[in-house]
Structure 1
Amino acid sequence: MLAGLLAGILAFGFVKVFGEPQVDRAIAFEEASAHEHEHGDAGGEEEELVSREVQASVGLFTGVVIYSVSIGGIFALVFAFSMGRVVQLKVGPRGLAAILALLAFISVILVPGLKYPANPPAVGDPDTIRQRTKLFFLMLVVSIAAMVVAVNLFKKLLASMNGWSAAALAVVLYVGVLSVAASLFPTINEVPDNFSATLLWKFRVASLGIHVILWTVLGFVFGWMAERHLLAPKYRPTARLQS
């Protein structure tokens, strides 16, 4: 959780610099579009429950840090389960943490996001938000399940072939399953015709960058802490992990 806290602080700094400007531009577009459609409406504007200033500062910091700390706790549980059970490689705690962080980023963030990427304000129909959320989480479940199956296949194949061949077959299995799932899941495209493609691209890159920082820092910092403070007396970097 401490590793997650550090990762969250760094991720907050990144989103504050690179993500929030894109959100502000998207909100400006949304407000301009709303004014165009409501110029004949006699009703007043809805009262803002939480100001944009709070959302972009305290609210953003709280959300990012709580999310990161929670991910750090879950990561620690997965690491504890995987240590000595999942892999038979001379990687040590630091290597295992890096591998788990990479696999988690691919299965939890990258692949589901390729099918249903993050959208800024003004993109997406409010009436379909439940459907879009269900589809994203269903894609997330399929991705995680396929990754678990691929890792177990890799583990079994190690007994009969070298590591590179086993890894290649596991990757083929994962990519195959997710390719089929992506083709079967409906495509959702609710980007307004006049919405800036550059803004949409920058927002999605910034959204991905947050998770790149979070998982990279979490994997390396957690691995260093585990190797140095928790498992160093029993496991060394060259120690063999027994299944």
Structure 2
Amino acid sequence: MNSTSVRALLVRGMLAGLVAGVFALAVAYFLGEGPVDAAIAFEEAHSEGHHEGGEELVSRTVQSTAGLATGVLVFGLAVGGIAGLAYCVALGRIGRFGPRATAALVSAGALLAAYVVPYLKYPPNPPAVGDPDTIGERTTLYFLMIVLSVLLTVAAVLVGRRLAPRLGNWHATVAVAAGFVVAVGLAFAFLPSFDEVPEGFPASVVWEFRLATLAIHATLWTVFGLVFGELAERLLTPGRAGRRTSAERTSAPVG
């Protein structure tokens, strides 16, 4: 793949990430802000007198609107560009898949490796949950889990490609999936865990917050896969797209 195509796919990846960010923003606002407000209310109710005279640098209204939009859209733009570059590497190297199918596989792999697996070990917590003294350690371990998960996913794909000629696609896929689960399980067993939910904190708020974050990322990667797949299809197989459009016009009823 030449540099022009890579640059074009990078730009389309960023565009698709921005579009996906808009949808993820809607999910974040309607599903995520409620649990955040409830967690903040709990924190304020149990810390009366500790922050008297403190001035709020950024209002909650700004945080839940402009701040949320900026964070989600910039994140979508960034991961869209990264996924676009990953797509350039994966295209034609993970099987005989077309541009759209490859985009779907890259999106699914990104969701699994970069979010779902780390999420299962270190699920996100709303405000007021977590010891401030361990935030550095927790952040480091979370990013370590992301790196391990991504590396294991890449290794699984490479090993699967080597095993496929000897075992067949089905058995090779089962073998690498089992190996991936075992490796992730070992990482889960050896890495430390944290249980820092304060006494009396509503379990329903934690559950709703974690479910909302999962929905945000699932929406982001699903929309990205669909949008980027269509953009990549039009870029890489323009003749096929043109023939399909002409066929649709020909088959359309007259009158």
TM-score w.r.t. length of structure 1 = 0.91
Amino acid in the other structure paired with 2:82: I
Higher relative contact order (CA 8 A, sep 6+): 1
- The question of 1:158 aligning with 2:171 is answered no
Q: CA-to-partner distance for each residue in 1:138-191, whole Å, 9 max, x for gaps?
A: 111111111111010111112112211111111111111110000001110100
Q: CA-to-partner distance for each residue in 1:198-237, whole Å, 9 max, x for gaps?
A: 1110000001100000000111110111002x1014889x
Contact 1:97 1:219 in 2 (8 A): yes
Identity level (%): 46
Per the alignment, residue 177 of structure 2 pairs with 171
Contact 1:10 1:213 in 2 (8 A): yes
Query: Which one of the candidate residues 109, 116, 123 is aligned to 2:115?
Result: 109
Q: How does 1:73-88 map to 2 (within 5 A)?
A: 73-85=81-93, 87-88=94-95
Contact 1:92 1:235 in 2 (8 A): no
Query: Which one of the candidate residues 208, 214, 217 is aligned to 1:211?
Result: 217
Contact 1:93 1:235 in 2 (8 A): no
Query: Which one of the candidate residues 213, 231, 234 is aligned to 2:236?
Result: 231
Per the alignment, residue 95 of structure 1 pairs with 101
Amino acid in the other structure paired with 2:219: I
Q: CA–CA distance in 1 between the matches of 2:238 and 2:172?
A: 31
**SS of residue paired to 1:226:** helix
**SS of residue paired to 1:34:** coil
- The question of 1:141 aligning with 2:154 is answered no
- The question of 1:47 aligning with 2:55 is answered yes
CA RMSD of aligned residues (A): 1.4
Q: CA–CA distance in 1 between the matches of 2:240 and 2:201?
A: 54
Per the alignment, residue 77 of structure 2 pairs with 69
**SS of residue paired to 1:190:** coil
Q: CA-to-partner distance for each residue in 1:13-35, whole Å, 9 max, x for gaps?
A: 11110100110000000000111
- The question of 1:22 aligning with 2:19 is answered no
Amino acid in the other structure paired with 1:5: L
Structure 2: runs of 5 or more not aligned: 1-13, 242-255
Q: CA–CA distance in 1 between the matches of 2:182 and 2:239?
A: 39
TM-score w.r.t. length of structure 2 = 0.86
